Amino acid sequence: GAVVSQHPSRVICKSGTSVKIECRSLDFQATTMFWYRQFPKQSLMLMATSNEGSKATYEQGVEKDKFLINHASLTLSTLTVTSAHPEDSSFYICSARSLSYEQYFGPGTRLTVT
């Protein structure tokens, strides 16, 4: 089956620092990847859509200068949280869309900003 990996699974950083999260589709090519944020006991909140080789499309209210997304290849997208603050602490999940349109999710990254 289609597998999407995310790294790291957990990260703790200090306020003001930047954190990079990687999302990889391991056994399929994904022209489109998505980044979500999930608060406890809530649904998935789409942050941005990234297409390979082009700029990401951000959802309303998501600061593109704070959440930098790069989709450099058909199997890798990265999310960088810049100048992190405690309110950025959350569960970040990526997903990748296959050519047959199924969307597969990564295992998520728990970010804690102290």
**For another protein, which residue of 55, 85, 110, 114 counts as binding (CB under 8 A)?**
110
Closer Cβ to another protein, 90 or 95, answer by number: 95
CA distance 68 to 66: 6
CB 47 within 8 A of CB 55: no
- Would you state the structure tokens that stand for residue 100, as one six-digit string? 């047959």
Q: Does 80 bind another protein (CB under 8 A)?
A: no
CB of 83 to another protein, least distance (A): 26
**For another protein, which residue of 11, 13, 52, 57 counts as binding (CB under 8 A)?**
57
CA distance 101 to 85: 35
Q: Does 102 bind another protein (CB under 8 A)?
A: yes
| Strand pairing category for 109-113 and 10-13 | parallel
Binding site for another protein (CB under 8 A): 4, 6, 32, 34, 42-44, 49, 57, 93, 95, 97, 101-108, 110
